[in-house]
Amino acid sequence: MTPTEPGASARQRGEGKTGSSGARSRRETGARATGTSETTSSPSKSSDSGSSRSAPSGAGTAGAGSPAGRAGRGGPHRRAQPDDRVRVMVAAASQAWTFGVLSCDLDTIAQALESDPDIDIVHRIDARPRAGTVAAGQAILVAEMPAARAADLGRNLQLLVEIDSALEAAAMPTMDPALVAAVTLADPGAGGRPPLFAPFYGAPLVLTVEVTDPGGHAVEDAVIYAVGRRGTAFGVTDRKGHAELTVFEESAEAILSLAVAPARGHWGRWIPEPRLDPATANPVVVERLDAAFPGFPAQELVGWGLRAMRIDQLPPAMQGEGTMIACIDSGAATAHPDLGGPSAGFDLLAGNATGWKDDPLAHGTHSVGVVAAGRNGAGVRGIAPEADIVVLKLLPGGRCSTLIEAIDRCIDAQVDVINLGLCATRPSALVEQRLRHARQAGIACIAAAGNTGGPVAYPASSPAVLAVAAVGRVGEFPPDSLHAAQPAPGLPLSPDGFFAARLSAHGWEVDVCGPGVAVVSTVPPDGYAAWDGTSAAAAHVTGLAALLLAHHPDFAGPFRAPTAARVDRLFDILRRNARPLPLGDPGRTGAGLPDAVLAFRDVMTAPVPGGPGTPWWPAAAIDLTTPIDPTWPIDMTAPVERAAPVDVADPLDRLAAVLHQAGIVNGNGGNGESGQKSNGDGRRRARSGAAGDDTALALAQLRATLERAGLWSGS
């Protein structure tokens, strides 16, 4: 089963640790806009009507202590105003938090809520039984009610109530709010003050901007931003390349900067102190993408991100075949010539299996292009074009409840990787539960850190996911482009030109970083665009994760089973084989930029004459990055200088630690010959027996390991 089948039943994979004791039959009474065919607009009032469990007092029956009863005592019922209403998710509280409190099932809760005229049940997410070690998904009600009523319900110990937060994309073709604010404050004359919102008594200025390419051709659908002292004005160019912006400023000199973000085919442009003239159309020229990439798109473009992560140096046969990646986003334009991969999807907003092919934000199409654009000799090259791509659409308009349904579908379909290029406005305990279930099912969730320029957003802040921040590199975009505003102020460049992206969220939750500035990828209907954002960074890491699952021997051997251990091993490989970037703040890079060559170094061994081995080895350095280690890769056929004898007096733990750091001894049993267990960091555990025998045996085993790796020659 795939997560795109609207009426498919869940696999029998539940452990029943949370949620109801058994799966109720799915109701097919018509899904609302944010639901699917597995949800209902109103739960049955008659279900479990004979249950001896009491309804939660805060959920409201007509009793004196209930919300409905309190409303009745105040005279005729008056419905709350729309702006006072909130959408919440309601579930039965976990027994761990309700010790000594009578438990309550969701049907009882639904009956109590439906009896309140102020509460509308939008839809229901049914429990999903699962087999093995994966917990069953908890049943949830999504309801709209007055904010005060939601606060009352939240105080009931029998219930778990939280706001059904809105979701937003973690990258857009427009200038993000963090950058708008940063540009405003950084421009000359701003004085370090935020934009003013004082009353305006003058006549507004209407400014016209004309956007063309160097050949004089009009650029349509470009978004224009005029950042002034009082705020930002927006406009979109028409077929003639013209856009009108109304600004509430005393004069055109108050415009601090002008930004142009073309929809496709061109580089963005950032102009500080633009000196606009209200009396005429102000020309702005934007460069074409093919000016920087000769022959593009007729010739295939290998993006700077793939080269920086050395994905382009992997064997051509490594294309991710056999893995399944779910992109939870805004859809994907399958008519794009580069996107033949996505063949399945589901629109969770419309509740059908066709709407996912329409991508109104272009965001999902851009991410899917990074992950899996086909290698057809034209357009852009994707990372894992042979992976099975499933698109689950929940943007724009999706909420945390929609995300929960998407994750449930991924667990049922047993996908391998979930790419989360989206953010919620606040954390969610119910989403967190599903993310933990996905990890238990062996699904690696890789999330964009967010484009706030501040703390890491949710779900990237969850410990159950791999959080990815964004970095850029100088020389990969025109110096006057919009991307040139992205280097984070006050932070250094790395020796090879990498910088922390201004827009990227940052903090201790960041695990790794990825290319997220001036990333050229696919956009609807058949074009290409260079975008900034942590979602592009996350898509790069998602693609590499798929290659590891498909081609790394660990995932065909000890970590083949879809369990949490497989996810942990995958994340460990990505972190341990990341190249540290000295950008002044570890919270902006985490472990660093994942390196594909290092991640596969145990696989891509140099050939030994007359013996097994892959007759291929990647270059030690590329034009984008300095060599990671001048001794890497090691030529195992060349003579090795005689090493100094081992000083037996040296502590064995020091030797084991060095081998562990070199990746020769892992944390699960050393070199696998001694039968001893390690302490998790490569050090030996003490065992019974003579100390001298133990020392000699350990040294002999360590020496044998070094000799097999070609790092030791001698007696």
Answer whether 173's CB lies under 8 Å from 519's CB. no
**What whole-number distance in Å separates Cα of residue 10 and Cα of residue 130?**
7
304-598: what fold?
A: Rossmann fold (3.40.50)
pLDDT band for position 706 (cuts 50, 70, 90): low
Query: Which of the listed ranges 24-28, 339-343, 443-447, 451-455 does the model predict with the highest average pLDDT?
Result: 443-447
In the predicted structure, residue 181 carries a pLDDT above the cut 80: no
CA–CA dist 515, 501 (Å, integer) = 9
**Average of per-residue pLDDT across 330-350:** 90
**Phi, psi at residue 232, to the nearest 5°?**
-125, 135
What's the confidence (pLDDT) of residue 158?
84
Token pair in block for residue 553: 């021997």
Distance CA 203, CA 405 (A): 50
Say yes or no to pLDDT of 214 above 60: yes
Q: What is the mean pLDDT of residues 163-183?
A: 62
Calpha distance 389→387 (Å, rounded)? 6
Decide if 94 is catalytic: no
CA–CA distances in Å: residue 685 to residues 32, 150, 557, 677: 59, 54, 25, 6
Query: Does pLDDT of 549 surpass 60?
Result: yes
Whole-number pLDDT of residue 95: 61
DSSP state at residue 84:
G
Residue 163, beta-bridge partner list: 88
**Catalytic-labelled residue, pool 118, 329, 338, 388:** 329
Q: pLDDT of 27-53, one tens digit each?
A: 333 333 333 333 333 333 333 333 333
Element (H, E) at 347: strand 344-347
Q: Average pLDDT, stretch 654-676?
A: 45
Distance of alpha carbon 279 from alpha carbon 327, whole angstroms: 47
Question: Which range has highest mean pLDDT (4-13, 44-53, 221-230)?
Answer: 221-230
Q: Stretch 376-394: mean pLDDT, rounded?
A: 95
Give the SS3 label for residue 169: strand
pLDDT grade for 248, boundaries at 50, 70 and 90: confident
Confidence label for 565 from pLDDT (cuts 50, 70 and 90): very high
Please give the pLDDT value at position 78. 46
Q: Domain 195-287 belongs to what topology?
A: Immunoglobulin-like (2.60.40)
What does the pLDDT read at residue 430?
95
Q: How far apart, in whole angstroms, are the C-alpha atoms of residue 529 and residue 219?
A: 13
Q: One of 123, 266, 363, 366 is an active-site residue; which one?
A: 363
Query: Which residue ranges does the chain devote to CATH 3.40.50.200?
Result: 304-598
* Best CA proximity match to 148, nearest among 83, 224, 215: 83
Q: What is the pLDDT of residue 709?
A: 57
pLDDT at 151: 92
Give the rounded percent of residues in the chain with a pLDDT score beyond 70. Answer: 66
280-298 pLDDT tens trace: 999 999 999 999 998 999 9
Enter the tokens of residue 186: 């950084």
The chain-wide mean pLDDT, for the chain, equals: 77
Give the lowest-confidence range in 23-32, 524-533, 685-694: 23-32
Q: Residue 695's pLDDT is what? A: 59
Q: Are 98 and 158 a contacting pair, CB within 8 Å?
A: yes
Q: How many residues does the chain have?
A: 715
Identify the bridge partners of residue 130 per DSSP, sorted by sequence position: 13
More confident residue, 242 or 101: 242
**DSSP labels, 219-257:** -TT-EEEEEESS-EEEEE--TTSEEEEEE--SSGGGEEE
Indicate whether 226 pLDDT > 70.
yes
> Where in the sequence of the chain do the CATH 2.60.40 domains occur?
195-287
329 belongs to the catalytic site: yes
Place of tokens 């039984």: 129
pLDDT-based confidence at 671, cuts 50/70/90? Answer: very low
Find where tokens 């917990």 sit. Answer: 135
Of the ranges 63-67, 581-585, 663-667, the best mean pLDDT one: 581-585
Please pick, among 367, 401, 535, 678, the residue that the annotation labels catalytic: 535
Interhelix angle 363-372/534-551, rounded to 10 degrees, is 30
Judge whether 20 counts as a catalytic residue. no
Q: What is the mean pLDDT of residues 659-683?
A: 42
CA 621 to chain centre: 29
151 or 660: which leads in pLDDT:
151
